[in-house]
Structure 1
Amino acid sequence: MSTNKLPAESLRDRKRRQARERIIEAAFSLFVERGFDVVTVDEIAQRAEIGRTTFFRYFGDKQEVVFSTEDDFLHALNAAMRDTPPEPIQDLTQALLTSRRLLLAICAEAARSPSQYALYHRLVKKYPELEDRHTRKTRHYADLLETHLIDHCAPPAMAVLAAQLTVACYQVAWRLGRHDATAVLREANDAFDRLLGATA
């Protein structure tokens, strides 16, 4: 019986991953110590013991470091989308159940790194430019969800409604769970329970 194994990480890939992790760790440490608005890319690079050019090889600016888990969230979302049953989505309850599973996949991914999520939440709440970027990313996820539902035969109006209701559930979880990623996951699940109960 054969088993599928992930390919071994090459030395080059390991060094790149370690350099990226050093940048993230250095940046968040500085943001906590001195504040996001005053920390510079040069200071992050110096703390991470890399050159400025190396920093820009991994991140376009210091805001991108704050949102460094974005790829992990998208990976979790795409994996959950691939697991969506092939049957057509024909009513709002089906659309919401699908949406719930996809949102919880993202929240569960955030809960894998609770300390980083806590810092992320505090930074987003404190700095308007980060909150604006967070809001735009939330809209992007809603667009992805809407497209996914339409691809599974949900009528466009239903897909839009389900996607926006999912954003509402996330916003409830974001406000109530605050910087506790596990609480955000729980609150998102509870919000959907209440929503599905209301639409039953």
Structure 2
Amino acid sequence: MVNESSRERLTAAAFALFEEQGYEQTTVEDIAARAGVGRTTFFRAFGSKDDVIFPHHESLVVAVRDRLTAAAPDAGVPAIVEGARLVLTHYLDEGDLARVRYRLTRTVPALRHREISGMQQYQRLFREFAASRGIGGDPLHAELLANAVVTAHNYVLRRWLREVGADPLDEFDRAMADVLRLFGGSAGAADERAAVVVFRTTRDLDAVLPGIRLVLEDARPETLS
């Protein structure tokens, strides 16, 4: 078993070499040498050169699954939103490594396919969770919800990767407010006009209030004439 320090050195070495000389031109031997370890150590840490591009994907999938599994029975959509937030904050914490990966997946088809496969894993987790909780009472609704969350997450993430978005967490809150506006009340009883949902956030109250207002305004009862 390779310790985390060696994995981190290998990851940093690989990303630096990919930027310097290109993905196809970089060998496993190059990465191991830059990291100061042997070729055998590399393959103990990663199954292939592709794997080093997504060093934390499997553990992140487990973290999202655990978050959904631990959700309260009535958590519903907010639990899925928090799962998506885990993924986004991971990318933000990676910083420049995430941007290097983004450039690589735009130019190397095999890595692009790997990225899409990873995205589909999250989408499947969200869909299965929504279906298991009976959100909307319809498999199609669970599919649409999962698609909406992943699409909104990816939109915010891509803007940050391209250095367009100024505050990705604020944009995420706004994007998920739209998702909540569309799906947030769907897990309640059929005769309910609206549902109030709560999820944790590190954002300032002023930053999330606009999204909350949108949800509440959409949930106001119609006026009888």
Length-normalised TM-score, structure 1: 0.78
Matched residue type, 2:7: R
**Could you tell me how far apart the structure 2 residues matched to 1:50 and 1:18 are?**
11
Equivalent of residue 174 in structure 2, options 160, 170, 190: 190
The 3 A distance-change label for structure 1 pair 112 and 166 is same
- 1:3 corresponding residue in structure 2: none
Residue 167 of structure 1 deviates from its aligned partner by: 1.8
Instruction: Verify the 8 A CA contact 2:67 2:79 in the aligned structure 1.
Output: no
Count how many residue pairs are aligned between Structure 1 and Structure 2. Answer: 181
Asked if residue 126 in structure 1 is aligned to residue 110 in structure 2, the reply is: no
Amino acid at match of 1:146: R
Q: In 2, distance between residues paired with 1:182 and 1:191?
A: 14
Q: Say which structure is richer in helix.
A: 1
**Deviation sequence 1:96-124 (CA, Å, 0-9, x none):** x3322211121122222223222222222
Q: 1:107 to 1:23 in 2, by over 3 A?
A: same
Give the 5 Å matches for 1:16-165: 16-87=3-74, 94-95=76-77, 97-154=78-135, 155=137, 156-165=139-148
Using a 3 Å threshold, how does the CA distance of structure 1 residues 63 and 48 change in structure 2: closer, same or farther? same
Question: Residue 56 of structure 1: CA displacement?
Answer: 0.9
Structure-2-length-normalised TM-score: 0.70
Indicate the larger mover: 59-68 or 78-87.
78-87
CA contact (8 A) 2:68 2:83 kept: yes
Task: Provide Cα deviations, 1:161-186, integer angstroms capped at 9, x if missing partner.
Answer: 11011121123213322255984444
List gaps (5 residues or longer) in structure 1: 1-12
Which is greater in Rg? Answer: 2
Note the C-alpha offset of 1:69: 2.0
- Asked which structure has the greater RCO (Cα within 8 Å, sep 6+), the reply is 1
Distance 2:107 2:171 in 1: 22
